[in-house]
């Protein structure tokens, strides 16, 4: 009998926090992965929560964020070295956080660079990745409410799942050019909604309406090639452009407003697919 991938023994949480993560949508998103799919492709990987949950036999994970992909590479190939570097870091506090944030990543070895990224991601404000114009990570310390770093067992479980993944630090178009029939493509792009842009950007080059236009063109290309896709996006004018002519459903999701648990509101996510 084939093991149930959603049983407690097969579940795998992501080891990173990520602003805009779709973890609360997993019960719906996971239904799109079926036995007809051979490979999973995600061009805006972030914390890759759906990938870790589905555990596909093959995958491509891509992202424009070089620090993120470098961390996944170290987790894939040098998990022991990354865990050793994490053990060397001081306890979670503002002083240690600011010290690590100021480190020039070009001066440290790749496993230490990955450990730094994981530490900053865990204890930064709301799991946000944001850089200044010089490309330096500048998100403030949060600490409270972030919990501890994940247990080594989770890091190792994630590392095993990353061993079957091709990792790409590239624009989404380059990644989507690798797709073929039998793939399931999951796209969760950064929001280009003007009111939400500031804390949803990867770096100084924000996701723009021109990127929405490029993405829409690729949805049409994937559909013409009979390649399955699903795209998640906030309810907005941009979502209206993306969903036109495709199947879609609206899901209400409760999110923190401004990153604080005491300020919560329901927001609508649109799931668009060619299923």
> Does 14 fall in a domain?
no
CA dist list (Å): 208 to 13, 191, 235: 30, 8, 16
Give the tens place of pLDDT for each residue, 92-102: 899 999 999 99
Give the tens place of pLDDT for each residue, 25-70: 999 999 999 999 999 999 999 999 999 999 999 999 999 999 999 9
- Beta-bridged to residue 271, according to DSSP, are 232, 249
- Structural domain range at position 95: 23-273
CA dist list (Å): 272 to 171, 212, 234: 21, 14, 11
- Per the rule left: phi > 0, alpha: psi between -120 and 50, beta: everything else, 43 is alpha
> Does 140 fall in a domain?
yes
Domain count, the chain: 1
Q: Report residue 192's pLDDT band, with 50, 70 and 90 as the boundaries.
A: confident
User: 183: Cβ–Cβ under 8 A, 6 or more apart, which residues?
Assistant: 37, 38, 39, 40, 41, 227, 228
> Does 8 fall in a domain?
no
Contact 22, 188 (CB under 8 A): yes
d(CA 222, CA 228): 7
Per the structure block, which two tokens stand in for 236?
Answer: 């907005």
**Helix, strand, or coil (residue 158):** helix
Give the tens place of pLDDT for each residue, 122-165: 999 988 888 887 788 999 998 767 788 999 999 999 999 999 99
> Does 120 fall in a domain?
yes
d(CA 75, CA 86): 12
User: 160: Cβ–Cβ under 8 A, 6 or more apart, which residues?
Assistant: none
- Beta-bridged to residue 39, according to DSSP, are 183
Per the structure block, which two tokens stand in for 247?
Answer: 């199947």
Per the structure block, which two tokens stand in for 86?
Answer: 């994490």
d(CA 240, CA 235): 8
> Does 9 fall in a domain?
no
What is the CATH classification number for the domain harbouring 64?
3.40.50.150
CA dist list (Å): 24 to 37, 114, 202: 23, 26, 21
Q: Is the pLDDT of residue 259 over 70?
A: no
d(CA 158, CA 152): 10
Exposed, middle or buried, 121 (CB in 10 Å: 0-12/13-18/19+)? Answer: buried
Give the mean pLDDT of the chain: 88
Determine the pLDDT at residue 262.
52
């Amino acid at each position: 009998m084939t093991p149930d991938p959603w049983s407690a023994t097969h579940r795998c949480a992501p080891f990173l926090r990520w602003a805009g993560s779709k973890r609360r949508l997993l019960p719906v998103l996971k239904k799109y992965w079926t036995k007809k799919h051979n490979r999973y492709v995600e061009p805006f990987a972030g914390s890759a929560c759906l990938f870790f949950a589905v555990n596909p036999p093959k995958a491509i994970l891509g992202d424009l964020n070089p620090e993120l992909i470098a961390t996944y590479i170290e987790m894939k190939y040098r998990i022991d070295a990354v865990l050793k570097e994490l053990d060397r870091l001081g306890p979670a506090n503002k002083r240690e956080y600011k010290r690590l944030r100021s480190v020039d990543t070009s001066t440290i070895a790749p496993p230490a660079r990955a450990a730094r990224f994981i530490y900053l991601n865990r204890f930064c404000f709301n799991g946000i990745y944001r850089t200044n114009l010089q490309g330096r990570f500048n998100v403030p310390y949060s600490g409270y409410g972030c919990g501890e770093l994940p247990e080594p067992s989770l890091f190792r479980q994630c590392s095993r799942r990353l061993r079957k993944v091709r990792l790409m630090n590239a624009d989404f178009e380059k990644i989507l050019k690798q797709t073929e029939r039998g793939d399931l493509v999951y796209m969760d792009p950064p929001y280009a909604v003007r009111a939400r842009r500031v804390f949803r950007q990867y770096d100084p080059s924000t996701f723009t309406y021109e990127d929405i236009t490029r993405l829409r063109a690729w949805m049409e290309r994937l559909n013409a090639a009979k390649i399955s896709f699903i795209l998640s996006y906030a309810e907005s004018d941009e979502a209206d452009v993306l969903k036109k002519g495709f199947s879609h459903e609206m899901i209400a999701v409760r999110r923190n407003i401004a990153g604080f648990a005491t300020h919560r509101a329901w927001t609508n996510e649109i799931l668009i697919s060619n299923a």
